[in-house]
Amino acid sequence: MSVGIDKIGFFTPNKYVDMVDLAHARNEDPNKFLIGIGQTAMSIADKTQDAVSMGINATLRYMDKIDKDKVGLLIFGTESSVDQSKSASLFVKNALNLPASMRAFEVKEACFGLTAGLMMARDFVRVHPDQTAIVIGSDIARYGIKTPGEVTQGAGSISLLVKDNPSILELNDGHSDYSEDINDFWRPNNSKLAKVDGKYSTQVYLDFFSKTFEAYKKQKNLANKDFTAITYHMPFTKMALKANRIAIEGQDEATSQRLTDKFEAAKKWSSLVGNIYTGSLYLSLLSLLEHGNLKAGDLVGLFSYGSGAMGEFYSGNVVLGYEDQLDKSGDEELINSRRKLSIAEYEQIFTDSLADPQDGVALLSDEKPGTWYFAGTKDDIRQYKKI
Ligand code: CAA
C-alpha cells in the first residue's frame, strides 16, 4: 500500500529583513551572512502571527482541494507553542471547520516535531486507508537582537496532507533513527528566546546525519548514488551544505554534480525565509520539488533533525504529475511580496512581539485579506480571526 504526501501548504509572514542590511547594522562583512551562513533574508513575524495562525494559513493553501470529511487526524508539531495545555491543532480544526470526529493533538521534539507527526500519520493512514491526516509544523525562530544566532532566525509553517495513493511523494518503508540527551539548543519555559550552543549544534547535526544516513543505506541496501537528491533540515543553508558535502564526498562526478545541483534547488526558499524549525526540512523539500526538475520515481532522501537531540533519515519516491499539486507561483508571490523592514523597524517589531498582549485589547493585522491572525486575548483565551 502506498502512503505519503498528497498536498503541501506553505505560509510565511509578510515582512522580512535583508541580510546585507543586517550585516551593515551589526558591523559584519555581508559575505559572512550571505556565504558563510548562507542566508539572503529572513521572514519576521509581528505580534499578530504565531504558530497557530501560520499553521492555519499554511493549511488553507490546499483546503479547497481536499475532502474535509475524510480528515481523521490532525497533528501539530511546534516548539513555539502558544499554550501549555491546549493543543494548537484544536485552534486549527476550529478555524478550518474540520470534522469533530477526529484525533487532534500537538507534539514536541524541537525541529523533529513535524517528522514525528508525519510518521504517525503514515501509520494512521495505513490502518485507516479511507481517511487522511493533516500534519503541520509551524514556528518562529527567535534568538534575540545582536546575538550570534540573530542571522539564523525566521518564521513560517508547512502543512502536509497525508493519504493513500499520494500525489506528490510516496514514503518508503523503513527509517533510521538516532537520539541522545544533549544540550545544543533548548528553550526553557521562562524564556521566549532560544538558547543555543551554535557550533556544537552544527557538530551534533553532522554527526547525527552521518550516523542515520549510513544506517539507512545499510538497512535498505542503498548507495549514495541511488539518491536523486537528499534534503536536509535547514536552520541556515550552510549547515545543510556541510551535510551535503559529507554525502558527496568520494562519489563519482555525476553523483556529486547531481546532489550538488539538487541541493541548490532545495535551499532556495530557506535562504529567503530563514529557520522555520519544524517546517524547515519540508520547506527544503518544497523548494526541491519546485526548482529541482525531478521526475516520477526519483528517490529523495530526507534528513530530519531536532535539537536535544533526535535525528531520522528516511526516503520517498516522487509521484508522476507531482508538479500539478504544487503552487509554485503562489509560493513565489508569498515570498516576493513581503515588505522589507529597516533594521530599526525589525528591532521594534521583534521587541513588541515578545511582550504578552494586554488582555481584552484587539490586535490588528496588516496581512492581506483572507489571512488568519492572532487578534489578542479575551479572559486569557486566544482569539484567531480572518482579515
Ligand atoms: N565571507 C565568507 N564567509 C565568512 C566570512 C566572510 N567574510 N566571515 C565568516 N565567514 C564564515 C566562517 O568561516 C564560518 O564558516 P564555517 O561554518 O564554514 O566555518 C561562517 O561564516 C560563520 O562564521 P562564524 O562561525 O564565525 O559565525 P558566528 O560565530 O557568528 O556563529 C552560528 C554562527 C554558530 C551559525 C550562529 O549564527 C548560531 O549560533 N546560529 C544558531 C545555530 C543554529 O541554528 N543551530 C541549529 C540548531 S538545529 C535547529 O534548527 C534548532 C532545533 O532543532 C530547534
Contact 113, 132 (CB under 8 A): no
What pLDDT is recorded for position 305?
98
Protein residue with least CA distance to atom 11, ligand 1: 36
Unique residue bearing C-alpha cell 503552487: 327
Is the peptide bond preceding residue 309 cis, with omega within 30 degrees of 0? Answer: yes
Instruction: Choose, from 111, 150, 170, 367, the residue flagged as catalytic.
Output: 111
Share of the chain above pLDDT 90, in %: 99
Residue of the nearest CA to atom 35 in ligand 1?
198
**Choice from 34, 107, 182, 201 to test ligand 1 binding pocket (greatest atom count within 8 A of CB):** 201
Q: Which of 111, 112, 143, 196 should be mutated for ligand 1, with most atoms under 8 A from CB?
A: 196
- Is ligand 1 within 6 A of the CB of residue 152? yes
CATH 3.40.50.10420 fits domain 173-321: no
Catalytic residue among 233, 290, 312, 367: 233
Q: What's this model's pTM, rounded to 2 decimal places?
A: 0.97
175 in active site = no
Q: Does domain 3-169+326-386 have CATH number 3.40.47.10?
A: yes
Q: What percent of the chain has pLDDT over 70?
A: 100
Quick check: CB of 79 below 6 Å from ligand 1? yes
The end-to-end CA distance of the chain, in Å, is 41
pLDDT at 1: 86
pLDDT means over runs of 10, the chain (387 residues): 97 98 98 98 98 98 97 98 96 97 97 98 97 98 96 98 98 97 95 93 97 98 98 98 98 98 98 98 98 98 98 98 98 98 98 94 97 97 97
Active-site residue flag, 264: no
Is the ipTM above a cut-off of 0.90?
yes
Which residue has 562526478 as its cell numbers? 253
**Phi/psi-derived region of residue 165, left when phi > 0, alpha when psi is between -120 and 50, beta in every other case:** left
The answer, yes or no, to whether any atom of ligand 1 lies below 6 A from the CB of 203, is no
Within the chain, which residue ranges are assigned CATH 3.40.47.10? 3-169+326-386, 173-321
